[in-house]
Amino acid sequence: MLLEKEVSTQILCDHCGEVCVEESLVFEEKHFCCIGCKTVFEILSENNLCGYYDLNKNAGISLKSKNFEGKFDYLNKPEIEESLLDFRSKNINKATFYLPGVHCSSCVWLLENFHKIRNGVLYSRLQFLKKELSVSYDPEKVSLKEIVELLATLGYEPLISLQSAEKDNKKDVSESRKLLLQIAVTGFAMGNIMLLSFPEYFKLDLENNVDARYQAFFLYLNFALSMPVFFFGAIDYLKGAWRSIRDLVQHNSKILSVDIPIALGITALFVRSTYETLFLHSAGYWDSLAGLVFFLLVGKWVQMKTYDFLSFERNYKSFFPLAVKVKNGTSTDYKNVADIAKGDTMIIHNEELIPADSTLLSEHAHIDYSFVTGESEPESIWIGNQVFAGGRQKGRAIEVLVNKEVSQSYLTQLWNQDNYKKEKKVAHTQLADNFAKYFTYITLAIALVTGLYWYQHDVSVIWPAVTAVLMVACPCALTLSMPFTMGTVMGILGKNKFYVKNQEVIQLMNETDTLIFDKTGTLTNASKQEVVYLGNTLTDEENQILKAMTSSSVHPVSKAISNFLGNNPDEIGITIKEEKGQGISANHKNHLYQLGSDYFVNVPIDNRDNTARAWLAIDGEIKGFFQIKSGYRENWKQVLNTLKSRFGLFLLSGDKNTDASMLASEFEKTHLFFEQKPIDKLNFIKDLQEKGKRTIMIGDGINDAGALRQSDIGIALSEDSQSFTPASDAILDASVFEKLPLFLNFSKWALIIVKLSFLLSLVYNFIGVGWAVSGKLSPVMAAIFMPLSSISVVLFAVSFTYLVAWRKNLLKQM
């Protein structure tokens, strides 16, 4: 064993790579920053799993200030355990966990070798991007609680929330699988049909008996191969068009879906080719049909791509705990949060969330409502008063009496609003709507005119000419340019840490005119704190003592104050006592120094207010207080200034109006709103929308959830895109906040590019229709012309998008 106390260079923890601040713990000649990290190493080395460190140096997750004792006890309760299991039988159970800590290949290796650490675990598989671990285990040898505790000890604490008990994500997997199969079948048919059509392209000699026999064989083979293309590959377009026509006839909607012209083209191709095959024995347009459907499906696949590792659909259930400790007479028990009823007494520990509106039974509590209101400072609550769901207790465990069920609570009511009961309406953008409408009508008009013309001149040409018009006019190139452009834009934005939920959001972004900001956590940065001291001026000695007091504590407020006080080289020997979550007291030269909450320092009731400050008292006499504010993001003024020219700007904050004067320089005075409750924010946006505004809401917390949902577009700002964000349409990484105007501008360009490629494909359609009306469109021409136009439009759209991104310096990080 080796103990190094003083070293000139910094020692890095061999597990997590953090600097070992105090003296490092040493085990087998390796250094660790805390007991947690050392424990993990011990577990791994005992089980011969140190390969973990060979894959990535310092791969581990810091375990400082983590305490899991008793945290997962509720998993011992059978009903709760049951709700988490995917599968249950006598000797094998299966469960899936979400592990936010997963970050590198070492994680995959360790977690998939989990069975070597704990006897009874049979099998574990990790889905890296989704951070989901599926575990099978023998319930007779190991319990779910033990598995979860071990995962937590290793640094991969599973996130178990009220939502974990609901399994509903199987559906989208089957949808993407179906599309893959459709592409495969259509691609298979397309390749073969084109190959079998080759003789036709080179003009068979039909006078020759041998060639004629082959022709029939190729023809019927093509016909057979096309069946799955039409009835399996293209089925969704046909169904979509049918639904749209039905809605139109029943006056349910006035929107013509873009599926209609597509289905029209596909059906025209199919009917005409069938007719030619069966009655004329000439090659139909099977190759064009297969090619068309194939390209359409590929476009759809591009459109469906999203970010697997992000979730855009979270509600309060993702944030609320699964179980809570409940007092049952004299003993305590765990109860599923969904089953909490009026009259239950809950016990809430430090840092735990209160799941239902209740009355405080303990004498005093410090509740952090930042989750609900956005107000960053914890509130001081006394016995007999209300505490609301979503509040987080700071400090000692408290007892509360439930007076409303979880789903009826103040916060959760938001989700019972009407707009949550139905799915958020898929954004029908003006562009796509108009396009489908005009395109369908114009196509039908041209077909009609063509038919009438040939009726007067040569009746035999009506059928080939009209079907050819419908075939060529099929907006394949048009429908491809949209997904490919938007898909490219989405990819580039994603690389720049702005994650958009789907392509419609980009289109919709260009139709908005109003931007609404939240303040706390959005314009301000929670991790950037500013400290203000108000009160009697401090002497140097007092300064030193305060520095010593605060630097001894790990509480975030103490840390902030300690930084604020600056460096004081002289150490003074004092005895310091800290009461967790309350305050610090110290004795120096027979004087008592106290720093902490109003309750701790005994501030007279009159001077107390609900904002928590760190009060300073010497010998019981109050000297002043420290107030901590979060600082504004860098360049926030510039960002707002740039956006001002294009958008109306509003600010909705849950905070008090202390910063109003500062914000007034960027917002119009009448556009600033403070002390807004979540429901106020939602209604405010509803009002704006009723006045005809189209809105983008930018917020970060669950307190903005209602507004984010109500707004045409909700952008959730996140300090770390891996962490939890409320349901939204887009997630913006806080580090690129200043690029927001650039992103909005880029999406505007995306729309221009789409319009340009629309124009290009219209030129193609014009040429094609020109051939078609004259009745001269041969199968070979169609087979070459249609894919060529599609591919060239896609190439144009993608390369133009990259060009714009390059000019805007958006490609640098790639």
Partner 1 sequence: MQVIILLVIAALVVAGGFLAAFFWATKDGQFDDTITPAVRILFDDSDKSKKGE
Q: Which one of 198, 217, 220, 441 is in contact with partner 1 (CB under 8 A)?
A: 217
* 8 Å CB contact between 585 and 592: yes
Q: Which of 126, 337 has the CB closer to partner 1?
A: 126
Which one of residues 117, 221, 304, 576 is an interface residue with partner 1 (CB under 8 A)?
221
Binding test (CB under 8 A) with partner 1, winner from 7, 21, 42, 51: 51
Cβ 84 to partner 1, closest distance in Å?
Answer: 21
Residue 506 CB, shortest distance to partner 1, in Å, is: 25
Q: Which is nearer to partner 1, 107 or 565 (by Cβ)?
A: 107
Query: From CA 486, how far away is CA 797, in angstroms rounded?
Result: 9
Give the interface segment with partner 1, choosing from 188-196, 231-239, 399-407, 725-733 (CB under 8 A).
Answer: 188-196
Q: Could you tell me the smallest distance in angstroms from the CB atom of residue 43 to partner 1?
A: 14
In angstroms, what is the minimal distance from the CB of 403 to partner 1?
45
Contact mark string toward partner 1, 482..501, x via CB under 8 A: --------------------
Q: Which amino acid is at 809?
A: N
Distances (CA, A) of 434 to 134, 326, 445, 531, 769: 47, 58, 16, 55, 21
Token code pair at residue 368: 């952090």
Interatomic CA distance for residues 58 and 800, integer angstroms: 43
Sign of the CA dihedral with 803 first, then 807, 810, and 814 last:
positive
> In the complex with partner 1, which residue's Cβ is closer, 126 or 516?
126
- Where in 693-732 is the site for partner 1 (CB under 8 A)? none
167-186 binders of partner 1 (CB under 8 A): 173, 176-177, 180-181, 184-185
> Contact at 8 Å (CB) between 93 and 146?
no
Closest contact distance (angstroms) between CB of 170 and partner 1 is 11
Looking only at the bridges linking them, the beta strands covering 713-718 and 695-699 are parallel
Given candidates 7, 19, 35, 50, which one binds partner 1 under the rule CB under 8 A? 50
Q: How far is the CB of 48 from partner 1 (least distance, A)?
A: 4
In the complex with partner 1, the residue whose CB is nearer, 116 or 239, is 116
Q: How many residues bind partner 1 (CB under 8 A)?
A: 31
Q: What's the closest the beta carbon of residue 658 comes to partner 1, in angstroms?
A: 46
- Is residue 48 at the binding interface for partner 1, with CB under 8 A as the rule? yes
Q: For partner 1, which is the closer residue by CB, 112 or 146? A: 112
Between the alpha carbon of residue 663 and those of residues 375, 526, 529, 667, 675, the distances in Å are 17, 17, 18, 6, 15
Closest distance between partner 1 and the C-beta of residue 73, in Å?
Answer: 32
CB 152 within 8 A of CB 92: no
Contact region with partner 1 (CB under 8 A), list: 49-57, 79-87, 700-708, 721-729: 49-57
When computed from its CA atoms, the radius of gyration of the chain, rounded to whole angstroms, is 33
Binding string to partner 1 for residues 96 to 135, with x set by CB under 8 A, is what? ---------x--xx--x---x---------xxxxx-----
> Contacts by 163-166 with C-beta closer than 8 Å and gap 24+?
163/314, 163/315, 163/317, 163/318, 164/84, 164/97, 164/98, 164/322, 165/83, 165/84, 165/322, 165/336, 165/338, 166/317
Closest distance to partner 1 from the beta carbon of 779 (Å):
19
Q: Does 192 bind partner 1 (CB under 8 A)?
A: yes
**Which pairs with CB-CB distance under 8 Å and at least 24 residues apart come from 661-664?**
663/519
Here the tokens at position 614 are: 């760190």
Residue selected from 84, 193, 196, 474 as contacting partner 1 according to rule CB under 8 A: 196
The two structure tokens encoding residue 556: 């975030």
Closest distance to partner 1 from the beta carbon of 65 (Å):
30
Nearer to partner 1 (CB atom), residue 56 or residue 792: 56
Cα of first residue to Cα of last residue in the chain, in angstroms, is 46
49 binds partner 1, rule: CB under 8 A: yes
The residue from 210, 249, 280, 534 that contacts partner 1 (CB under 8 A) is: 210
**Which has the closest alpha carbon to 750: 566, 481, 529?**
481
Dihedral of CA atoms 720, 725, 728, 731 in degrees, nearest 10, equals 0
* Smallest gap from residue 205 Cβ to partner 1 (A): 13
Nearer of residues 45 and 413 to partner 1, judged by Cβ: 45
Give me the half-sphere count of Cα atoms (radius 13 Å) on the Cβ side of residue 258: 17
How many other CB atoms are found less than 10 A from the CB of residue 603?
17
Is 220 or 806 the residue whose CB approaches partner 1 more closely? 220
Of 116 and 776, the one with the shorter C-beta distance to partner 1 is 116
Binder among 4, 54, 363, 634 for partner 1 (CB under 8 A): 54
Q: Is the separation of the CB atoms in 553 and 584 below 8 Å?
A: yes
**Burial of 764 per CB tally in 10 Å (0-12, 13-18, 19+):** buried
- Minimum Å gap between C-beta 592 and partner 1 is 55
Helix (H) or strand (E) holding 627, with range, is strand 621-632
Tokens of 551: 């630097």
Q: If binding is defined by CB under 8 A, does position 188 make contact with partner 1?
A: yes
Q: Which structure tokens are listed for 423?
A: 């799915």
Which of residues 291 and 521 has its CB atom nearest to partner 1 in the complex?
A: 291
Applying CB under 8 A, among 11, 55, 444, 574 the residue interacting with partner 1 is: 55
Q: How far is the CB of 190 from partner 1 (least distance, A)?
A: 12
Structure tokens at 420: 């949550």
CB of 105 to partner 1, least distance (A): 5
Cα 593 to Cα 586: distance, rounded to the nearest angstrom: 5
What is the binding site for partner 1 (CB under 8 A)? 48-51, 54-55, 105, 108-109, 112, 116, 126-130, 173, 176-177, 180-181, 184-185, 188, 191-192, 196, 210, 214, 217, 221
